[in-house]
Structure 1
Amino acid sequence: MSVASVGEIIWVLGIVAWYFIRRPYERRAKRVRVVSHRRSRSETVGLAAALIGLAVVPGFYVATGKPEAADHPAHAWAVVVGALTFATAMWVFRRTHKELGRNWSISLEIRDKHELICRGPYALVRHPMYTSFLLMGIGQAFLLSNWVAGLAGLVGFAVLFFLRVDEEERMMLEIFGPQYRAYMDRTKRIIPYLY
């Protein structure tokens, strides 16, 4: 088995893990009443970009090997770095869902009895879900030996993040006011101690 194939298999296993982590929370969220939402065209575009970059483009590459012209040599060290990064992403992703519990939503929504979560990964950054997507994109870039498929995840993440995070923070400030402002003052957005 080639190094490139190992990277692709690890990527597929990571995406399967992503699905199995998210699915139960998605099902539970449907049972909690939404009291306010900020669904918009830009949010839809951001979510679509993340899906395309983190799943569709790399999935197409893994299934077909195209675009071949963008292939580059696979290295064992890159696959190890990619696997560790993707595993870290799944750990953060799981912890984020667990801490949010009934507050979780794929869209910008406030649910009945919504609370501000400041524990677990939320004690370090305000948006650890985005941190997990960033780590997924980095892991994907190391796991897939193709410039287009490998970097598509980082592009998808960037589109989602920059289209959505400001609106999300405005919504949280409206709902939680000074409590969220104080939380913003003591945490960074997605990279602990940096940004």
Structure 2
Amino acid sequence: MTQTITLRVLQGADRGRVFHNLATPVTIGREEGNLVQLNDERISRFHVKIQEDDGRLVVTDLDSPNGTKVNGQVCSLKILRNGDTIAVGRTVLLVRSQAEGEVGSADELPLLDAAGGSLRSQDECQQHSVLPTLPRGMGPGQSAELRELLDHIHVSLRAIVDDAIVNEKEGKVLIDQRAWDYLLAAQANISAWIRCIEDPQASQT
């Protein structure tokens, strides 16, 4: 069964770019001719290749001088799983895969139940996984303020991702106390911002 992958750039000069529904094989590098061309001087011309083999995705480093990391671990050849991260040069990419014929999009991320904290069902994920659009018509000052907020959130989440340890055998990701503190602080800040938006006077109390 043919698989497609979606790659989201989490870190690097191309941060925020999304390469949707790419059919394998996929090469990543600096030069034209790559299905994913990145603006990163530390990436080789043809740095890494993702291909399908017997229903599995395999990532192969193409003898790049700076190497490739999957989930923070240096590797030259590795089975790639949905949700893995690939680090090449200064760029980090999030991998989302989907087999042909499956319902939904490879872009979709699992959502948490706001009440119980458990993963929602697939149907609920499909219903609520569309990202809200950014506000339109903002002035330069408002755009700068929003950018500052998003940068703060991004840095906090990056600290968590960088410190995470992936246990592939058990299907778990471990984070240390410092990363957990970052996560709690980010959640607290976002909660405060939401309250201020809903009740502008709350920021004065």
Please report the TM-score for the alignment, with normalisation by the length of structure 1. 0.29
**In terms of Rg, which structure is larger?**
2
Greater relative contact order: 1 or 2 (C-alpha under 8 angstroms, separation 6 or more)? 1
TM-score (norm 2): 0.28
Specify which structure has the higher proportion of strand.
2
Greater fraction of residues in helix: 1
